């Protein structure tokens, strides 16, 4: 109960700082969002948006990616890093969507996760941003900050996800994930967190605060 109350206070502060949160990844369709999230692994959202601005002018649908050569896809996404693996995953994912889901991005975690290149994090981003379905996204920022705030003791992303789901109301899962992601980028960085300026410092039990 105490952990839940402290989490509620943290949520309230972050909502004040980030009142209107949504994924920074630009997209027009659930499928384009799925592709963008796959590309965002080990790459900044800003760079992904630069790439997809060109990519989606040429390849827009699962059928487009399924029919394109891997070399073509690789050429467009090269600057996102790990481009060969990403291109292969995107193409195989597209073909799976066509063969198993009539060309439409599935709307459940259970159907999204088996797709090539899609894990729980990617699935939850798509569910929340494309279908307004509650999902707790756990990326490196969420994992790091959750441990620092004492909301979990785990390092495994799935265990962290379930810990957070227990203490955050379901309706707030999507927003809370984004709040922590934005907060991690601006304040609670991995190497040089701005603890003296941190708005939730009094609610944070992390012992290695910077001064």
> What does the pLDDT read at residue 198?
97
DSSP state of 117: T
> What does the pLDDT read at residue 199?
97
Q: What is the pLDDT of residues 52-82, one digit of tens each?
A: 999 999 999 999 999 999 999 999 999 999 9
Backbone phi, psi, residue 69, to 5° = -75, 155
Q: Are 33 and 23 in contact (CB under 8 A)?
A: yes
Token pair in block for residue 31:
């499928």
Residue 26 pLDDT > 90, yes or no? yes
Mean per-residue pLDDT, 15-27: 95
Q: Which CATH number fits domain 2-21+136-203: 3.30.9.10, 1.10.1670.10, 2.102.10.10, 2.60.120.650?
A: 1.10.1670.10
By the 10 Å C-beta count (0-12 exposed, 13-18 middle, 19+ buried), 64 is classed as middle
Per-residue exposure over 182-201, b if at least 16 CB sit within 10 Å of its own CB, e if not: bbbeebbeeeebebeebebe
Domains of the chain, by residue range, sit at 2-21+136-203, 30-131
Residue 1 pLDDT > 80, yes or no? no
Is residue 208 annotated as a catalytic residue, yes or no? no
- List Cβ neighbours of 12 (8 Å cut-off, separation of 6 or more): none
> What does the pLDDT read at residue 84?
98
Please, what is the average pLDDT of the chain? Answer: 97
Q: List the CATH code of the domain at 30-131.
A: 1.10.340.30
Residue tagged active-site, from 9, 46, 57, 139? 139
Q: What is the pLDDT of residues 37-53, one digit of tens each?
A: 999 999 999 999 999 99
Token pair in block for residue 71:
């070399």
d(CA 178, CA 94): 27
Residue tagged active-site, from 8, 57, 60, 121? 121
Per-residue pLDDT band for 211 (boundaries 50, 70, 90) equals: confident
Is residue 121 annotated as a catalytic residue, yes or no? yes
d(CA 172, CA 86): 30
d(CA 126, CA 120): 10
Mean per-residue pLDDT, 18-34: 96
> What does the pLDDT read at residue 174?
96
Per-residue pLDDT band for 18 (boundaries 50, 70, 90) equals: very high
């Amino acid at each position: 109960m105490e952990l839940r109350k402290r989490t509620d206070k943290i949520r309230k502060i972050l909502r004040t700082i980030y009142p209107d949160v949504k994924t920074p990844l630009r997209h027009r369709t659930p499928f384009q969002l799925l592709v963008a999230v796959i590309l965002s692994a080990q790459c900044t959202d800003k760079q992904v948006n630069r790439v997809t601005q060109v990519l989606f002018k040429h390849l827009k649908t699962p059928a487009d990616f399924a029919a394109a050569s891997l070399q073509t896809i690789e050429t467009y996404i090269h600057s996102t890093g790990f481009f060969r693996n990403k291109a292969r995953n995107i193409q195989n994912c597209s073909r799976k969507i066509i063969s198993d889901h009539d060309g439409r991005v599935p709307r459940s975690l259970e159907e999204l996760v088996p797709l090539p290149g899609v894990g729980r994090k990617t699935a939850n981003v798509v569910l929340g941003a494309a279908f307004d379905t509650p999902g707790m996204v756990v990326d490196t920022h969420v994992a790091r900050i959750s441990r620092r705030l004492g909301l979990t003791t785990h390092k495994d992303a799935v265990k962290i996800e379930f810990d957070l789901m227990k203490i955050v109301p379901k309706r707030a899962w999507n927003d809370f994930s984004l709040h922590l992601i934005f907060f991690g980028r601006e304040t609670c960085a991995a190497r040089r967190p701005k603890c003296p300026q941190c708005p939730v410092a009094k609610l944070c039990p992390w012992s290695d605060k910077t001064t």
